[in-house]
Structure 1
Amino acid sequence: MAGDGGRPLVLTQGDPAGIGIELTLRAWQARHAERLPAFGVVADPGHLREVARSLGWDVPVEAARCSDIAAMFDTALPVLPLGRSVRAQPGQPDPAHAAATIESIRNAVDLVRRGEAAALVTNPIAKHVLYEAGFAHPGHTEFLAALAGEGQGEAPHPVMMLWSEGLAVVPVTVHIPLARVPGALTTDLIVRTARIVARELRERFGVAHPRLALAGLNPHAGESGALGAEDEAVIRPAVDTLRADGLAVQGPLPGDTMFHARARAGYDAALAMYHDQALIPIKTIAFDEAVNVTLGLPFVRTSPDHGTAFDIAGNGIARPDSLIAAIRLAARLSQGGRPS
């Protein structure tokens, strides 16, 4: 089993001192039980062998090309070698590893852009480690958007969706301080984000008529201006514009009543106005199974909905559920929403 057209998926290594490598090993071990599609990882084969050895896991690791992955996957974990060796210590992040982390991402993106791989699954990185090494992008997603735009002129506008079977949420503003959210939130940004979400729900997820719910910014969605002006001045005009596009849109809705089970049945994706308004409900509902999906890119990208977990790296106790869900969803989206 593979992704679109029989092509494999490709994983990045993430920060080599974090849990990404051991989760990749665990996912390969679970390939039959979880019925996972064929995947390879862009990394240093020697490092994966060392991590497997240190954890006492019997995982054969073999250097491979992308075209080898499908044939090799049943008997060994295919690793697409980096141009450098990695000697990371679990739980000890080091800017010296930044070049390998970046190379893994860049090489994996090249494979999906060339059509050799069906989709990209990224393991977690630590932005502060990359910043210390001179990384110029605000984060992982922005770097992917820049790579996607190389040679194409303008970089695409990426949109972060957190997805689970029970809830899909999109923060309109993402990694900015809460105090800056009201100034950053504009009608144009909401409309642009919602249009991308609706398009990707149709084209990637196979939802013929997407239904969107827009959260209010203030308590009780501003209560007609009594608790803040942004809901009526900024969000409602976005709702009107989106409805004029022919989209099924509700809002602005009070954030405290739109995530219970009955409310969730009325929409396919919720757009939240700031980071925690989106992430608190989905991490409450699906902490171990939620997947980070980047919408708006010219290729499918998913990622586990957690970080590097340096505090438990190397102990073999990190749960692979979110990575497994990300692999499975990447295969599904590469097939236009059909179950893999």
Structure 2
Amino acid sequence: MIEVLTGSPLNTIQDLGRPRTMTLGVSRGGAMDSAALKLGNLLLGNDIDTAGIEVVFFPFKIRFHADQAFAVTGARGVARLDDEPLPPDWAAKARAGQILTLHAPANGARSYVTFAGGLDVPVVLGSRSTDMKGGFGGYQGRALEAGTRLAAFPSDAKDMPSSGYGLAHPCDLPENVAEVRCLPAAEFDAFTDDSQALFFEQLWTVTRTANRLGYRLESETPLSLRSPLELLSHGIVPGTVQVPSAGMPIVQMADANTCGGYPKIANVIEPDLRLLAQTQTGRQIRFIRVELDEAVAAIRAEAVRMHELGLALQSARTTLLAR
């Protein structure tokens, strides 16, 4: 059992979401940085889709009411178990009564706390993720408030090396300008030649209105169409880059609506959505054009990397416990 000590309207329970429900008009949802959530689960021997806590508002504190193995991944902030600092991308075991504190990150925007066995909350439409728009999933369909108590499922992976363990080289996060790969989208050719070039050439700033639904971007020169274009609402997915009439793009994120009518200039490839998710407001990004075969190769490479990482972490955990 854990107790949340700091409330926020932004910190929620997330797994990998509901991709199969988008045809029903239900957002995919899930962790904004899915790689960080997967890593946290791999460190603990969980399935990669196991539910944990996505932390966006800091400081974040929880108290453990029972011995519990956990991991902290994602954004680079100072994490402490009581007064003991934890390295980034690290798993450890807490004793009953200890407090985990995550401080505001210097790099990255979202941290993830995962637990051996995963959080025991109901499965709704095939997922334990919180859908804030629909008010379901996660813990009572809402953000985690101070005083919320959560249980973890029993796990065979509660054994943990006494000093904890983690990655010697933590996962990369954007430090300056995040380079985000994308494919041209359906209406790419409807934009002027200058706008097509500007989309990739100029830097885009993440505005303060960026959230789980979408990231609004700004730059010096707005994008423009060759001629006015009216579209009926049509299907969109996380990663779709839409351009409203003002000419400033919106990148659809995890909680994106399932349909929209703005022209689409690009689609961010799945492995790079995490770079956007970890880009703080006020920071800049640059879009990099790739072709379909490059996007497919990147997705496959990410899947292979996670598989190999899981095997390596399992071996490391077994070796450390045997000492």
TM-score class normalised by the smaller sequence: under 0.3
For CA contacts below 8 A with separation 6 or more, give which structure has more relative contact order.
Answer: 1
Where is the helix percentage greater, Structure 1 or Structure 2?
Answer: 1
Where is the strand percentage greater, Structure 1 or Structure 2?
Answer: 2
User: TM-score of the superposition, structure 1-length normalised?
Assistant: 0.25
User: TM-score of the superposition, structure 2-length normalised?
Assistant: 0.26
